[in-house]
Amino acid sequence: MKKIISQATIDRLPLYFRTLRLVEEESINIISSDELGRRLDITPEQIRKDLATFGQFGRKGIGYDVHELKEKIENILGLQNKWRLAIVGVGHLGGALANYVNFASLGFSVAALFDKNKKIVGSEVNNIKVNSIDDIKKIIAKKSVDIGVITVPADEAQNVADLLVAAGVKGIWNFAPTKLTVPPFIPLVNEDLSIGLSALSYHMSQE
Amino acid sequence: MKKIISQATIDRLPLYFRTLRLVEEESINIISSDELGRRLDITPEQIRKDLATFGQFGRKGIGYDVHELKEKIENILGLQNKWRLAIVGVGHLGGALANYVNFASLGFSVAALFDKNKKIVGSEVNNIKVNSIDDIKKIIAKKSVDIGVITVPADEAQNVADLLVAAGVKGIWNFAPTKLTVPPFIPLVNEDLSIGLSALSYHMSQE
C-alpha cells in the first residue's frame, strides 16, 4: 500500500535529496536532523516529521544514515528513472529551461526541443537541436522521451498537449497559463512562476 | 492580530484571485465553492477550508460574493501594492521572466533590468532597457523598485543580493541555486524550477 504524502512534503524532498548527495560527497555517513536543518534552513522538527512519513530512518541521538536516506528519497520521487524531457516552444522560457542546470542534478535530462517557427527549427540551444513540431511523434519515440514540457502560448497549449499524449509521453509539465485536459493516466503538473512571487508579496505585506 | 496562513493556502490564493477576476469580468456576482472548484480543478472542500482561514465569506447554499472575496485575497497577498520588480541577470531565465505575462495579471510590473555584460547593457528586452549593474543603486531608487529578482549564476548571487539590499529593495526573489543571507527584515523567496518537475516524477512513479 502506498502512503499518502502531502504536497508540501513532496516539494521539500528534492531539497533533502540534493543536500544529502552533497553530504555524501563530503564522506559524511550519518547526519542529524539539526545539521540537515542548518544546511537547509528548515527546522529539525519539520525534517523529522517529513522523514517519519515514509518509515523509520533516524536513530535517536545518532542521526540519519546519509546513503540510505538519499536512496529512499530518490526512490520515492522516482528520480532513479532518469526521466528524459522534451520542451515544446523554444521561446524565452523554453530556452531558459533547456539551459537550466538544476534539472541534471536530479537526474533529468533534456532529450529534445520542438518549435513550429521555421526560423529556429534546425538551430541549437545548449547543444540540443530544435526540431519541427511536425516531427514530434517520430522524435519522441526515437529519443525515448518521458515528459513533455509545454512552453507555448496559452492558445496553443491544448493542441501541444494532445500531440504529446499521442506521441506517448508519460507525464506533462505545463507552463502555459491555461487549464489543460489530458487523459487520467497522464500525470500533469501546472507551473505558475507568479505563485512564488505572490508568496513574496504576502510576506512583504506582513510588516 | 495576524492569522497564520499555511504556505499551501498562500500558494493557492493567486489562483483564486485570478479566477475571481475572470468571474467578475463575466458579470457574475456570486459564486459557489462547487463552481469555483470546477473552474480551478480544486475540491470545493479545499476551497471552503482555505477561505475559512481568513473569515466568514460564503453564505451557506448561496455562495461567495465575487467582488468582496477578490478584494480580500488581493489585500491578503498585498497585490494592491502593485510591486515593481528589477531583474538582475538578463540571461535565458532573466529574459524569460522579463517577458512573463502572468506577472502583470497579478499587478506586478518589471521596472528595470540589470546585467554586468557590456554586450547586452543598453539593449532592450520586452521594451525595457538593460542597465549596467554598476548603476543599480541609482536606478532602483529612480524607478521605485520594490522587489529584486536574482537570475545570475550561483557564485554571483550573494553579491547581487547585497547590492539589492544596499539599494533599498523590500524583498528578494532568488532563482540562483544557492542559499542567500539577507537581513531578517527583507523577505526572501527561493525559487527552484525543478521542484514542480520532481513532483511530476513522484506522480509518474505512483502507477
B53-70 per-position pLDDT tens digit: 777 666 777 889 999 999
Please report the residues numbered 49 through 68 in chain B whose beta carbons come closer than 8 angstroms to any beta carbon of chain A.
none
Q: Is B110 on the interface with A (CB under 8 A)?
A: no
pLDDT of residue B3: 60
CA distance B60 to B57: 9
- Which of B76, B98, B200 has the CB atom closest to A187's CB atom? B200
Among residues A66, A72, A87, A97, the alpha carbon closest in space to that of A5 is found at A72
In the block, residue with C-alpha cell 544546511: A39
Q: What percent of chain A has pLDDT over 90?
A: 68
pLDDT of residue B1: 40
B162-199 confidence digits (pLDDT tens): 999 999 999 999 999 888 999 999 999 999 888 889 99
Among residues A22, A192, A36, the alpha carbon closest in space to that of B193 is found at A192
Cα of B199 to nearest chain A Cα, Å:
6
Please report the residues numbered 65 through 84 in chain A whose beta carbons come closer than 8 angstroms to any beta carbon of chain B.
76-79, 81, 83
List CB contacts (< 8 A) between A127 and chain B. none
pLDDT band at A192 (very low <50, low <70, confident <90, very high): confident
Asked whether the beta carbons of residue B189 and residue A200 sit closer than 8 angstroms, the reply is yes
Q: What is the model's pTM?
A: 0.87
Is residue B124 over pLDDT 60? yes
Which grid coordinates are listed for A149? Answer: 514540457
Written as one string, the DSSP assignment of A121-174 is TT-EETTEEEEEGGGHHHHHHHTT--EEEE-S-HHHHHHHHHHHHHHT-SEEEE
List CB contacts (< 8 A) between B193 and chain A. 97, 100, 102-103, 191
CA distance A96 to B136: 24
A168-197: average pLDDT:
93
ipTM: 0.90
- Which of A102, A185, A188 has the CB atom closest to B194's CB atom? A102
pLDDT of residue B57: 67
Q: What percent of chain B has pLDDT over 90?
A: 68
pLDDT band at A12 (very low <50, low <70, confident <90, very high): confident
Q: What percent of chain A has pLDDT over 70?
A: 96
Backbone angles phi, psi at B134, to 5 degrees: -65, -25
pLDDT of residue B203: 92
List CB contacts (< 8 A) between B196 and chain A. 173, 189, 191
